[in-house]
């Protein structure tokens, strides 16, 4: 079997895209290894389709974290056994590219976002210059490049003149097993549930405005907001909720295994994706949670970003809100909840769309991209 080594800078446990890729490549006859980092709260993880390598880190964030990670990763890649490398995002590419050149191994670059267009990079000039330097030097030298949607692929193609493959981050097929119930969570059948979930509950993604929309003056009675997951905005959201005195109208759930998160999602009446047009990366993003909602049969309320709005309107799975503001969000949610006939049509359209917007269909693209490495 051809050994393929994936490199990531986050916890292997929560990286759904890399795990789906590894599972697909394992089914093709590859032997995947995923190299990530070990955090203090990293849960045990031993999937059947891949071996896991978690590197302990002294630094936890910032310049020294990325420098330490790439040095550790480079040293590991110099001696590890593999025939194919897959570098996930720009923050793993320097080490992976250098090691692949020294050892004359094939390298696939999978960029999950428009990396230098994220607020965390573009708002910090020195950080931006460092990452743009690496991108300018390394991106044009890659032979096989994958990204998550057509808009981001077009940006890179225009900038660097390199063709990209598009593999959308679609969820696997899911059917609720009824393991998680409203009764078990102490939620009445008459309570409407709004959900915001995912691994990236981050700043500028509408969480603050969504919480403010739950205030009494906006009229969302018998409604509860669930926020499930983790991210850099979470502490601020909890503080905002406490100050607002929302009490039982708001519930926070910790990061949880994907299947468990989807069981919770399936109980919701509406799923929200309210990323703002804050940066190039956000503008052209297509968040995983949009497809998770669709897969769970949950109508979507989304902000008017090109890729997201196109998905919601083309498949008729929900509504697009023009302004990410508490009053506008509350009004849209209220109108959706009050029109049960239309909400039911959205649910039906979600389940129909889920037959197409699933990983089992998307992995045909993955098989085409990686199949050529088996033929060598």
What pLDDT score does 293 carry? 98
The DSSP call for residue 43 is P
Q: From CA 357, how far away is CA 336, in angstroms rounded?
A: 23
Q: Which residues contact 182 (CB under 8 A, 6 or more apart)?
A: 188, 189, 191, 267
Q: From CA 359, how far away is CA 171, in angstroms rounded?
A: 5
Strand-pairing partners, residue 321, are 303
Same fold, 2-170+359-374 and 192-354: yes
Given pLDDT bands bounded at 50, 70 and 90, which one contains residue 79?
A: very high
In CATH, the architecture of 192-354 is: 3-Layer(aba) Sandwich (3.40)
| pLDDT of 65 strictly over 90 | yes
Query: Could you read off the pLDDT of 259-294 as tens digits, one per residue?
Result: 999 999 999 999 999 999 988 998 999 999 999 999
| pLDDT of 41 strictly over 80 | no
What pLDDT score does 45 carry? 87
The DSSP call for residue 13 is G
For range 226-249, the mean pLDDT: 87
Contact 67, 95 (CB under 8 A): no
Model pTM above 0.85: yes
What pLDDT score does 197 carry? 93
| pLDDT of 99 strictly over 90 | yes
The CATH class of 2-170+359-374 is: alpha beta
What pLDDT score does 199 carry? 75
Mean pLDDT over all residues of the chain? 93
For range 73-85, the mean pLDDT: 96
Contact 371, 28 (CB under 8 A): yes
What pLDDT score does 198 carry? 82
The candidate with the shortest Cα–Cα distance to 295, out of 268, 330, 313, is 268
Domain boundary assignment for the chain: 2-170+359-374, 192-354
Contact 158, 114 (CB under 8 A): no
């Amino acid at each position: 079997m051809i050994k393929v080594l994936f490199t990531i800078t986050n916890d292997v446990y929560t990286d759904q895209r890399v795990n789906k890729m590894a599972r697909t490549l394992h089914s093709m006859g590859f032997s995947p290894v995923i190299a990530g980092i070990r955090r203090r709260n990293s849960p045990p993880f031993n999937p059947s389709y891949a071996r896991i390598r978690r590197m302990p880190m002294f630094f936890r964030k910032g310049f020294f974290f990325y420098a330490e990670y790439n040095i550790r990763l480079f040293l590991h890649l110099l001696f590890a056994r593999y025939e194919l490398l897959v570098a996930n995002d720009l923050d793993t590419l320097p080490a992976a590219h250098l090691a692949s050149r020294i050892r004359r191994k094939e390298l696939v670059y999978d960029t999950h976002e428009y990396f230098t267009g994220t607020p965390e990079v573009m708002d910090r000039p020195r950080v931006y210059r460092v990452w743009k330097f690496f991108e300018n030097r390394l991106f044009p030298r890659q032979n096989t490049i994958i990204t998550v949607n057509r808009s981001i692929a077009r940006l890179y193609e225009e900038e660097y003149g390199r063709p990209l493959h598009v593999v959308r981050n679609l969820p696997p097929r899911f059917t609720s097993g009824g393991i998680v119930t409203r009764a078990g969570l102490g939620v009445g059948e008459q309570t409407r549930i709004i959900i915001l979930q995912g691994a990236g509950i981050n700043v500028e993604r509408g969480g603050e405005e969504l919480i403010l929309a739950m205030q009494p003056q906006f009229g969302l009675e018998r409604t509860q907001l669930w926020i499930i997951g983790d991210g850099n905005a979470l502490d601020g959201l909890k503080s905002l909720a406490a100050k607002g005195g929302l009490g039982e109208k708001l519930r926070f759930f910790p990061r949880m295994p994907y299947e468990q998160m989807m069981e919770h999602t399936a109980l919701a009446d509406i799923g929200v994706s309210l990323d703002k047009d804050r940066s190039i990366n956000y503008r052209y993003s297509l968040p995983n949670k949009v497809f998770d909602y669709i897969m769970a049969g949950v109508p979507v309320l989304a902000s008017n970003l090109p890729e997201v709005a196109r998905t919601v309107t083309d498949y008729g799975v929900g509504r697009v809100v023009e302004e990410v503001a508490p009053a506008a969000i509350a009004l849209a949610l209220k109108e959706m909840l009050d029109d049960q006939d239309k909400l039911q049509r959205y649910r039906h359209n979600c389940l129909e769309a889920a037959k197409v917007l699933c990983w089992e269909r998307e992995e045909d693209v993955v098989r085409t991209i990686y199949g050529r490495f088996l033929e060598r």
